[in-house]
A and B are shown apart, each in its own frame.
Chain A
Amino acid sequence: DAKTTQPTSMDCAEGRAANLPCNHSTISGNEYVYWYRQIHSQGPQYIIHGLKNNETNEMASLIITEDRKSSTLILPHATLRDTAVYYCIVRAGGTSYGKLTFGQGTILTVHP
């Protein structure tokens, strides 16, 4: 699976959009970009994933660059409860081996 690079930490004001970047310059054509988050000591929570098109769901939007070497997770109206560690994971989808490799992630702090 391709390696990802994320900023160690970011801050965001409550109610504003949080834009979390992820670099995955070695991504392969069959690899998806997944985003998970982990609120302190809780189980990781799936947010969104995509291959090459931008994706949106009730939680967030995922913007993938045309060359697929980077992506941005957007939380459109961050709340205090969005404070968490956000993980960007790149891996082939639907493969027989389901291991997720969680890196260090980005600590997002949403403040009032």
Chain B
Amino acid sequence: DADVTQTPRNRITKTGKRIMLECSQTKGHDRMYWYRQDPGLGLRLIYYSFDVKDINKGEISDGYSVSRQAQAKFSLSLESAIPNQTALYFCATSDLVDTQYFGPGTRLTVL
């Protein structure tokens, strides 16, 4: 969905490096989410935010942090990347009805 963009789309990094994944949306939604997807495990929620001043941990937040810079921007950081954080990362937004719209994903490889 072009209304939700993620940068970078692909990233290869080394263990111990700090990485930031960025998400922007033009849908005007207040709610934003970060998920990761691993083969065979489906999507798992990392963090979510219901407005600019609201940040909540999801089911697998350890090793990650987020920043909600504005209604339209939600960034995910890996302070010190490790190989088991290699995954496909998705950002999503939702309206009050909670229909979620996903970005195209960022493929992260940690060597």
* A contact set with B: CB distance below 8 Å: 34, 36, 41-46, 49, 91, 93-96, 98-104
Choose one: A45, A91, A100; the contact of B43 (CB below 8 Å): A100
* B contact set with A: CB distance below 8 Å: 1, 4, 31, 33, 42-43, 45, 48, 50, 58-59, 88, 90, 92, 94, 96-105, 107
What separation, in Å, do the CA atoms of A94 and B103 have in the docked complex?
21
Does B88 contact A93, Cβ atoms closer than 8 Å? no
- Tell me the minimal C-beta distance from A21 to chain B in angstroms: 19
Q: Name, among B45, B90, B99, B104, the residue most crowded by chain A CB atoms within 10 Å (CB to CB).
A: B99
- Tell me the minimal C-beta distance from B76 to chain A in angstroms: 15
Does B104 contact A99, Cβ atoms closer than 8 Å? no
A98-B31, A98-B33 as given contacts; A49 in contact with B99, CB under 8 Å: yes
A93-B98, A94-B98 as given contacts; A42 in contact with B31, CB under 8 Å: no
What separation, in Å, do the CA atoms of A49 and B104 have in the docked complex?
22
Choose one: A42, A95, A96, A101; the contact of B104 (CB below 8 Å): A42
Residues from chain A with a CB closer than 8 A to the CB of B45 are 99-100
- Tell me the minimal C-beta distance from B51 to chain A in angstroms: 12
- Which residue of A is nearest B58, CB measured? A99
- Which residue of A is nearest B101, CB measured? A46
Residues from chain A with a CB closer than 8 A to the CB of B50 are 96, 98
Does A43 contact B98, Cβ atoms closer than 8 Å? no
Does A43 contact B90, Cβ atoms closer than 8 Å? yes
A41-B88, A44-B90, A104-B42 as given contacts; A95 in contact with B98, CB under 8 Å: yes
- Tell me the minimal C-beta distance from A56 to chain B in angstroms: 16
Residues from chain A with a CB closer than 8 A to the CB of B88 are 41
Does A41 contact B42, Cβ atoms closer than 8 Å? no
Residues from chain B with a CB closer than 8 A to the CB of A96 are 50
What separation, in Å, do the CA atoms of A49 and B94 have in the docked complex?
14
Interface contacts beyond A46-B101, A93-B97: sample of 12 additional A-B pairs, CB < 8 Å, sorted by A:
A34-B99, A42-B105, A43-B1, A44-B102, A91-B98, A94-B97, A98-B31, A98-B94, A99-B33, A99-B58, A99-B59, A101-B42
